[in-house]
Amino acid sequence: MSDPIERAEYDEPVRRYLALRSKLGLLEATVSADTLGDDDEYNRYQEQLETLSDDIEDVSDAAGTALEKMEPPNTQ
């Protein structure tokens, strides 16, 4: 089992990544691509997402692990 402090430090970038990915997905679903391309805030979110992606070794694995931790325990 990993050290809780170490895990918390690791989990924070993953949580930020997932939150940004969700925010960008919502924007992309509701705002035209032309409008988003000119939006400074959207472009800043994109840059932050890329930076986080570079910082996290395996984004898919880390995101999957984070989502598993959010699921309620199976009590069958």
Q: Is 18 among the domain residues?
A: yes
Domain encompassing residue 36: 4-55
Q: Is 62 among the domain residues?
A: no
Kindly report the pTM of this predicted structure: 0.63
Q: Is 17 among the domain residues?
A: yes
Burial classification of residue 48, based on how many CB atoms lie within 10 Å of its CB (0-12 exposed, 13-18 middle, 19 or more buried): middle
Q: Is 71 among the domain residues?
A: no
d(CA 27, CA 19): 12
Q: Is 75 among the domain residues?
A: no
| Tally of structural domains, the chain | 1
Query: Which pLDDT does position 72 carry in this prediction?
Result: 64
Q: Is 66 among the domain residues?
A: no
Least confident of 12-16, 32-36, 47-51: 12-16
